Structure 1
């Protein structure tokens, strides 16, 4: 069985540790055949080179990032397949700018992630302080509206951590709205893949993204599944891969996928 991890970061983003090579070596150590490098995209919509140093790399650093991954891809040929990816922010107002930047490079895949909703980080737990139920629902529905739009944009092969808003606010999962299922239906219609992202275990919620219930909906609506540890330290590469594989089989999935040259590669479960 091909063991893979498509979601890894490194020191360029400003909040991960280690170099790209460290993540590749960790992947080999953990028995992976495929490792995807997918650091945070720069803020291409900003006029500043690096407006948020602790969150993403500088625009001027992006070509060096691509160059390094491609160099390591060649170097490790025969030992492990290294894929060129990026975790892209999704800002609807800047999508064309981002798309033009990505067209310059030979990406194997692009992960589209909503990190901000309503102008506030999805990981900002203060956003929930004192919000009445109706407002909580509005916040959740805005988040899923953005995720739906990211799928409809056609800019991404994979959508990242589609319920990560629960990371530091576990009660997020209990906010009832039809928007979740409507969004997953849209993902299926657009032949999207979503990741099972095991980094939720490092947050207050203490579990993976997305929930089992959402994975069941994904199976129902024909959404493809991939794996991402979202490792920000090399040791977490491939974290919980076997456990996720077992869970997906229990839910009823027969395969999961990764991407090479933006073409979907199926791996039986």
Structure 2
């Protein structure tokens, strides 16, 4: 089974190409499934599109769903198109986001922590002037939020769980017990973490999460899935076979795909 559950398109304001382009790329790459999962609107904002270069407008959301479902029907004899969304995780707004998503037939929802202490995790300047203790506290808070996202019951996939290293590679060297605590919690819930290959496009290089985290995830019974986090159709399925092989080497026997928010495990 070949799939990619994490793709974006031009609605979010920082990706290239239309949804159809990603579907066509998936077909060309021999995928059985392609998940469309653009960035959800900031539902708690009073503005229609609070961050035009980051996420789609609230007024675009229903149209987004309609387009994916129409393409799902159009391409049903060629590839399985799945309706997804990448959702920010804001603990204080979970009821609001739950209400919004319940209106639509999502196959899966990716929950991603993009903000810690009110600052985007990819903000290169967020670390300036922090003490070692403050840096560790920031990492601890990041993994606490990830653990909370697993417990929320809103998500089927947890996105890029060490992406905070993206533009701050030394993040990986900060020792904390919170990673292991988070993985233990994740293993207790019916969610999967993604192996996300977009880290190769950032300063840190490689994939999210690290092999070290994946080894601990296996120990705690955490399920895994795959997502390229493509913001360009050319990256659909990027490194999927390499990820499959690496997971086998670490000791995983299967990975997950999702339909109608139900996890299905399939052999690697």
Q: Same fold (TM over 0.5)?
A: yes
Structure 1 match to 2:154: 155
CA RMSD in angstroms, aligned pairs only: 0.6
| Divergent runs of 4+, >6 A | none
Are the aligned partners of 1:191 and 1:222 in contact in 2 as well (CA < 8 Å)?
no
Measured after TM superposition, the shift of residue 263 of structure 1 is 1.0
Q: 8 Å contact 1:161–1:196 — kept in the other structure?
A: yes
1:6-85 → structure 2 map (5 Å cutoff): 6-85=5-84
- After superposition, the C-alpha distances for 1:47-93 in whole angstroms (9 at most, x for unaligned) are 11101000000000000000000000000011000000000000011
What's the counterpart of residue 95 of structure 2? 96
Task: Work out the number of aligned pairs and report it.
Answer: 268
Q: Distance in 2 between matches of 1:208 and 1:177?
A: 20
Q: Which residues in structure 2 correspond to 1:250-265 (within 5 Å)?
A: 250-265=249-264
Partner residue in 2 for 1:168: 167
Moved more, 188-197 or 105-114: 188-197
Structure 1 residue runs of 5 or longer lacking an equivalent are none
Which residue does the alignment assign to 1:249? 248
Question: Which secondary structure does the structure 2 equivalent of 1:44 belong to?
Answer: coil
Instruction: Note if contact 1:148-1:187 (Cα within 8 Å) is conserved in structure 2.
Output: yes
SS at match of 1:87: strand
Q: What's the offset of the Cα at 1:132?
A: 1.8
**Superposed displacement of residue 130, structure 1:** 2.9
- 1:125: how far off? 1.8
Deviations 1:116-137 (A, max 9, x none): 0000000012111232211110
Show CA shifts across 1:84-114 (max 9, x none): 0000000011111000000000000000000
CA distance in 1, matches of 2:109, 2:224: 14
SS in structure 1 at match of 2:224: strand
- The answer on whether the counterparts of 1:13 and 1:55 sit within 8 Å (CA) in structure 2 is yes
